[in-house]
Amino acid sequence: MVKFPIAGQSFVTIRRKNLLYIDKTEYIYKIIEDEGCYFLSRPRRFGKSLLLGAMEELFKGNRQLFKGLAIDSLGYDFQPYPVIKLSMAGLIGSTEGNLTDGALRETGAANIIESLRYRLRIKLNAAASDNNLDAQKLVQDKGLNFSDIPPNSLLEIILQTLHDKTDKKVVVLIDEYDSPIQSAVNDSGLADEIRKELHNFYSSLKTYSDDNKIHFLFVTGITKFAKASFFSVFNNYLDLTLDSHCAGICGFTMPEFEEHLVPFLPDVLESKKREGSLAESVALDEFKQMVLDQYDGYTWDGKTRILNPFSLINFLYFKKLNSYWYESGTPTFLMDLVRENPYEITRPDSFFLSTLSLASLDIGHLSLVPLLFQTGYLTVDKVMSDTEYLLKEPNSEVSEAFNVGIMNVLTNKTNKNIDKLVKNIYQALHDVDNMLLTKCFATILDWFPYEIHVPLEYYYHSIIHCVLKVLKYKIESEVSQSGGRIDMVLEYSSKCVFVMEFKFESLVHKKTVANADGTEEVKMITVSPEVLLPKLLKDAKDQIETNNYSRKYENEFETVHKVAIGIAGRTNVAVEIYK
């Protein structure tokens, strides 16, 4: 039986050990038909490194590794080329996150840049060795010191030597080009120094490309920083990120899932039934849908469905529907950005993306939504035009884990605190308990600090939406229907739905008061929550009834609960559930 590859196993290892490999060589063949410079952005753990590993062996001419794969029957000649493959991960700090502010202060920018140069020289030395070259000897033969030579100069020596030795153009594959900048993205000054250093490196590469000594250049990364060193040097690259022809180049498409992975599901299902984590009544089709809900949902063209490869392989290996991808390490800079810009994820219209916003990400002025898309927390929902997209969260794994992460960041509450709150909300919805749900919502609002408070209805609506998404129910906000837009709809089960309307008012109001001398002045009047909350509940109920919000769901669900939610001031809440 085919075994599953574990994280980090190379293309060579996978093929030689006959581990599960989903054939992507047809995509590769279409790309490499023409010489050129290409860029591909995909989230972490989506198979970019494996893709480059396959390209490396292909260009080395190792045909035996491709027997039985698509490219072996497409007429590719497997002509060998000299190949330089570099991963830019680990050049700054660790491979799994950013340097902390403390580490930056202790290390200092000059030492960090020198460390970058040292590590890059080591990687170039390894790349030279893979081509049977001794980089240190090459440097010494030119009367230079290996420990002092700038990485761009070392790159030039290796490129020229390979070209001269083989009389062939060189293939260059660069993985995680953006890792060094990401590692210092919270320090714009240091990030700029790193960018300058890498600019020299990529400039040397561009020189050899212009001199027609580069056969093929393929670069991968997560984020596309507009002024990053690579993009500021290369102006003739082809960006494959949103290209429909490459939509399935990383991750598992639905046909691939059906053919190669679904056959493993019966064994996993039986295992879960034996351990008691699933009821005996759960059918295979139902279980398959659970897997899709957890790991499916990605798309880069609005048509080609992609399942998360890292999570799916881990699920089949461990036989547990866990959040493997999220737990494998969320970029620190992303959560820091959420903390600094909470309003970007609380605006109803925030999940809109243009190709211009993707192409103009400035390190000093990062925008959260494009980054959420590039890092895998949002995916294409609908293609509006050639340059405009609507985005959504891809699946339950991302939705639950990321919303918990947001709460961790913004409230400083632990997962234990959040789990307890979520259990209480489950109970309140199950029992249709007004008092318990009111207490839960008040707790939520009390957790969010005053500093990020916005005295507008959408702010409270968005916070509660964020928390409810952790429950794994289907939740929609701003649901359009004939009578208007419903604030929120929560599908509790196939038979029960909650239709919610929010109303908010501040406790402090401006009021024009007439003075005894006939003049008027504006005074601030404080209203008691006990007076305001009943009014807000009535307003919410009136809107539900006037616009007949429940009508849309009465034929689809046996039970339609209407929920009026009044919020007075910052943390005063009242909830009324009725039919």
Q: Are 380 and 389 in contact, with CB atoms under 8 Å apart?
A: yes
pLDDT for res 346: 56
Q: Which residue type sits at 527? A: V
Selection from 107, 146, 115 nearest residue 128 by Cα: 146
DSSP string, 353-421: EEHHHHHTBBTTB--HHHHHHHTTSSEEEEE-SSSEEEEE---HHHHHHHHHHHHHHHH---HHHHHHH
More confident residue, 475 or 379: 379
pLDDT, the chain, mean: 89
3-state SS assignment for residue 576: strand
End-to-end alpha-carbon separation of the chain, Å? 55
Q: pLDDT per residue over 388-428, tens digit each?
A: 999 988 998 998 888 888 888 878 888 899 899 999 999 99
Selection from 233, 176, 188 nearest residue 43 by Cα: 176
Selection from 332, 308, 314, 326 nearest residue 95 by Cα: 332
3-state SS assignment for residue 143: coil
- How many other C-beta atoms can be found within 10 angstroms of the C-beta atom of residue 182? 27
For 287-314, what is the mean pLDDT? 95
- How many other C-beta atoms can be found within 10 angstroms of the C-beta atom of residue 283? 9
Q: pLDDT per residue over 169-202, tens digit each?
A: 999 999 999 899 888 887 878 888 898 889 899 9
Selection from 365, 96, 375, 366 nearest residue 241 by Cα: 375
Q: pLDDT per residue over 249-274, tens digit each?
A: 999 999 999 999 999 999 999 999 99
Percent of the chain having pLDDT more than 70? 94
Q: Are 490 and 477 in contact, with CB atoms under 8 Å apart?
A: no
Q: pLDDT per residue over 355-389, tens digit each?
A: 888 876 777 777 888 889 999 999 999 999 999 99
pLDDT surpassing 90 at residue 560:
yes
More confident residue, 244 or 515: 244
Give residue limits of the domains in the chain.
11-246, 252-327, 332-392, 432-578
Q: Are 412 and 425 in contact, with CB atoms under 8 Å apart?
A: no
pLDDT surpassing 60 at residue 158:
yes
CA 429 – CA 561 distance, rounded (Å): 10
pLDDT surpassing 60 at residue 106:
no
pLDDT surpassing 70 at residue 434:
yes
Q: Are 315 and 321 in contact, with CB atoms under 8 Å apart?
A: yes
Q: Are 493 and 471 in contact, with CB atoms under 8 Å apart?
A: no
For 495-511, what is the mean pLDDT? 89
pLDDT for res 137: 95
Structure-token match 């890059």, residue found:
120
Residue 171's contacts (CB-CB under 8 Å, 6 or more residues apart) are: 55, 56, 59, 81, 82, 83, 84, 214, 215, 216, 217
For 114-129, what is the mean pLDDT? 95
Distances 462 to 159, 254, 350, 413 between C-alpha atoms, Å? 53, 32, 11, 18
Strands (E), 240-373: 252-253, 306-307, 352-354
Selection from 190, 445, 459, 188 nearest residue 344 by Cα: 459
According to the 3-state scheme, what is the secondary structure of 85-131?
Answer: EEECCCCCCCCCCCCCHHHHHHHCHHHHHHHHHHHHHHHHHHHHHHC
pLDDT for res 183: 83
pLDDT for res 85: 97
CA 573 – CA 437 distance, rounded (Å): 10
pLDDT for res 101: 46
pLDDT for res 350: 58
Q: Are 372 and 338 in contact, with CB atoms under 8 Å apart?
A: no
pLDDT for res 344: 66
pLDDT for res 504: 92
More confident residue, 513 or 295: 295
CA 447 – CA 567 distance, rounded (Å): 15
Residue 266's contacts (CB-CB under 8 Å, 6 or more residues apart) are: 284
Burial of 55: CB neighbours in 10 Å, binned 0-12, 13-18, 19+? buried
Pick 11-246's CATH classification: 3.30.980, 1.10.10, 3.40.50, 1.10.3470.
3.40.50
pLDDT for res 321: 92
Instruction: Provide the pairing of β-strand 214-221 with 306-307.
Output: unpaired
Q: pLDDT per residue over 21-79, tens digit each?
A: 999 999 999 999 888 999 999 999 999 999 999 999 999 999 999 999 999 999 999 99
pLDDT surpassing 80 at residue 93:
no
Residue 148's contacts (CB-CB under 8 Å, 6 or more residues apart) are: none
pLDDT bin (cut points 50, 70, 90) of residue 337 is confident
pLDDT surpassing 50 at residue 95:
no
* Per-residue burial over 123-138, b = 16 or more CB atoms within 10 Å of its CB, e = otherwise: bbbebbeebebebbeb
pLDDT for res 311: 95
pLDDT for res 39: 96
Selection from 350, 454, 475, 366 nearest residue 410 by Cα: 454
The model carries a pTM of: 0.86
Selection from 87, 74, 294, 89 nearest residue 175 by Cα: 87
- DSSP-assigned beta bridge partners for residue 416: none
Q: DSSP label at 469? A: G
pLDDT for res 187: 81
CA 246 – CA 32 distance, rounded (Å): 13
Helix H or strand E encompassing 323: none
